[in-house]
Structure 1
Amino acid sequence: MPLVEVTLTEGRRPEQLRELMHRVHEAVRSSLDANPQSIRVIVREVPRELWSAGDQTLAERDAQEGR
């Protein structure tokens, strides 16, 4: 049973996330010839305040850049 996890920051529309799940599902199905019913796709959204790079949260970086 293939399981794919995608982690990204919050802020995308539900339709975008659904399209992502569909495309990931199709990529796994076609590349592995997997049974469609066995494919699992999990999308995790993380608040920008809880994601850091270079000892700075993405929210802090946004504030510095005026976003």
Structure 2
Amino acid sequence: MRAEVWAQDDVKRLHRIDVRTLPDDELDGLAVVVISRLLITGGNHHQLHEELTASGGYLKERGFKREPSVVLRS
């Protein structure tokens, strides 16, 4: 993944977008979830900290409604 961050646009092989579908009775509209990764390394490239965060919400006719309780599951 690290190499993909610095790769030129015409040679990127990794796309960070995924689309999933659910049955109609489980969700009544479009939803968006964003998962981000923060990685902090030291001068000698040792990992000092790593954190995953998630946020999301629903796309409505009048805009976006945030979901306050997005939970990451492994």
Indicate the TM-score class for this superposition, using the shorter chain for normalisation.
under 0.3
Higher relative contact order (CA 8 A, sep 6+): 1
Q: Which structure has more strand as a fraction of its residues?
A: 2
Q: Which structure has greater helix proportion?
A: 1
Q: TM-score, normalised by structure 1?
A: 0.28
Tell me which structure has the larger Cα radius of gyration.
Answer: 2
